[in-house]
A and B are shown apart, each in its own frame.
Chain A
């Protein structure tokens, strides 16, 4: 069986509706909300601030520390509060997805904390979290070369699709889920994970689909930052 029509009627290369906003947490040095379909992520950045205990400090540059978690009522079946193996892994890959764009050399001995919470989950939460986090880092004024755009691609019934929603992820025939983060200026990939079953050609097709879709997300992120800071439209 092939997947000929998407459950929500989107084209195979079409993203869900996106909203982005910068400055959603007033106490933080930088913050952002990123909504894609029914998935909502918020991110807040604190720092650069002194890192304690001091043996954790790095002499060459500031350390980036990411924490990803979901609120208990963001999913249909209540998530137990607190970190899990899943959230710990996502926190780690999020750090790795963001690090290539950051220049932390000005702040040795410090830490930049990025906290990401998912308020409503409908697949693609780590990607939404990374999109929000990169905007929050920009809002915090951390020196950076670019933003990061993250979108998932997937394969359902032999068909490569962009930005799966939860219903598609739970497709009865199974879905291959591929979260990807792109550094738009360099066109490089800083996050790549995959669960499922896919051929080499299909994977390349999926990555190219995400690359194509990333421009739209990139524009929305930049627009949200401009909304706060002005600059040419």
Chain B
């Protein structure tokens, strides 16, 4: 299988008949997976399916940012979504996924955290963003990052009464957002670059580079993975690919 996929990629071909730099179809963003969530979304890329949801609460701010709300991002690679995932505490892959998604959102300034301050130094909003994989057919990072942004975009504040959240009651006020970071991960297999890998392609990839990019084309976060080192030229090429390929995801998000 490994050799077969490699021999195809060598010829700029893929086992599902895509081009190397082509997303699987369909790419779908559905809003509102759970009525109980302040915001939620399901993203489908090919057969990969990920959901993200948001619950909000109030709490004390961090001492180094007394007037800013808090974002806490978590992920679970559900054993339901792949024969390779096991129940139990988060492993390295899970933690990396949550942190890569978190950094893209945080560093792009997507959430206007100063507007999440209720009483400076005392009370701020906490945004709990949780990602769950439903079907892992490859490329969980890009699907998760897209689901997270979609869920945040459609997130509303819950009701607040005497500094306590009235759970289950929502306001019409949207979470204040300023940016929409999109993440594209470019993979390297032998001397070829490709995006949106299947599980089999992911397993044989030499390296990957996840790049979160805001609406102005600024790079907000990056993560290199894999055991092979990259040259500067290769990194530059991968960024160019990502800048181009995120356009399609941005369209779906609108």
In the complex, whether A146 has a CB less than 8 A from a CB of chain B is no
Q: Are B34 and A74 in contact (CB under 8 A)?
A: yes
Task: Find A26's partner among B51, B54, B128, B137 (CB 8 Å cutoff).
Answer: B137
Q: List 11 A-B contacts (CB under 8 A).
A: A25-B49, A25-B81, A26-B47, A42-B80, A44-B80, A72-B74, A74-B37, A74-B53, A77-B55, A119-B33, A120-B36
In the complex, whether B60 has a CB less than 8 A from a CB of chain A is no
Q: Are B89 and A76 in contact (CB under 8 A)?
A: no
Task: Find A73's partner among B47, B82, B130, B168 (CB 8 Å cutoff).
Answer: B130
Q: Are A25 and B87 in contact (CB under 8 A)?
A: no
Number of A-B contacts (CB under 8 A): 90
Q: Which 4 A-B pairs have the closest CB atoms?
A: A73-B53, A78-B55, A76-B168, A73-B37
Mark each residue of chain A from 105 to 148: 1 if its CB lies under 8 Å from any CB of chain B, else 0: 00000000101110111100000000000000000000000000
Q: Are B135 and A73 in contact (CB under 8 A)?
A: no
Q: Are B130 and A115 in contact (CB under 8 A)?
A: no
Q: Are A81 and B79 in contact (CB under 8 A)?
A: no
Q: Are A25 and B134 in contact (CB under 8 A)?
A: yes
Whose C-beta in chain A lies nearest to the C-beta of B39?
A: A73
B37 vs chain A, min Cβ distance (A): 4
Question: Which residues in B have their C-beta under 8 angstroms from that of A31?
Answer: 80
In the complex, whether A28 has a CB less than 8 A from a CB of chain B is yes
Residues of B within 8 A of A (CB): 33-38, 40, 47, 49, 51, 53-55, 57, 74, 76, 78-83, 87, 89, 128, 130, 132, 134-137, 167-168
Q: For the complex, what is the distance from the CA of A17 to the CA of B80, rounded to whole Å?
A: 25
Given known pairs A73-B37, A76-B36, the reply for A28 and B80 (CB within 8 Å) is yes
Q: For the complex, what is the distance from the CA of A84 to the CA of B32, rounded to whole Å?
A: 26
Question: Which residues in A have their C-beta under 8 angstroms from that of B89?
Answer: 82
Whose C-beta in chain B lies nearest to the C-beta of A65?
A: B87
In the complex, whether A46 has a CB less than 8 A from a CB of chain B is yes
Q: Are B137 and A71 in contact (CB under 8 A)?
A: no
Q: For the complex, what is the distance from the CA of A150 to the CA of B24, rounded to whole Å?
A: 38
Q: For the complex, what is the distance from the CA of A78 to the CA of B127, rounded to whole Å?
A: 11
* Residue of A40, A72, A77, A83 ringed by the most chain B CB atoms within 10 A: A72
Given known pairs A26-B135, A27-B135, A67-B87, the reply for A72 and B79 (CB within 8 Å) is no
Question: Which residues in A have their C-beta under 8 angstroms from that of B167?
Answer: 76-77
Q: For the complex, what is the distance from the CA of A38 to the CA of B32, rounded to whole Å?
A: 13
Q: For the complex, what is the distance from the CA of A14 to the CA of B109, rounded to whole Å?
A: 49
Q: Are A72 and B135 in contact (CB under 8 A)?
A: no
Q: Are A38 and B80 in contact (CB under 8 A)?
A: no
Given known pairs A73-B53, A73-B55, A78-B128, the reply for A115 and B78 (CB within 8 Å) is yes
Mark each residue of chain A from 24 to 52: 1 if its CB lies under 8 Å from any CB of chain B, else 0: 11111001000000101011101001000
Task: Find A49's partner among B34, B53, B83, B135 (CB 8 Å cutoff).
Answer: B83
Q: Are A72 and B55 in contact (CB under 8 A)?
A: yes
Q: For the complex, what is the distance from the CA of A120 to the CA of B32, rounded to whole Å?
A: 11
Beyond A26-B47, A73-B53, list 8 extra A-B contacts (CB 8 Å). Answer: A26-B137, A42-B134, A44-B80, A46-B79, A71-B132, A77-B168, A81-B76, A113-B79
Q: Are B81 and A73 in contact (CB under 8 A)?
A: no
Question: Which residues in A have their C-beta under 8 angstroms from that of B40?
Answer: 73
Mark each residue of chain A from 57 to 100: 1 if its CB lies under 8 Å from any CB of chain B, else 0: 00000000001000111111110011100000000000000000
Given known pairs A42-B80, A67-B87, A73-B55, the reply for A25 and B135 (CB within 8 Å) is yes
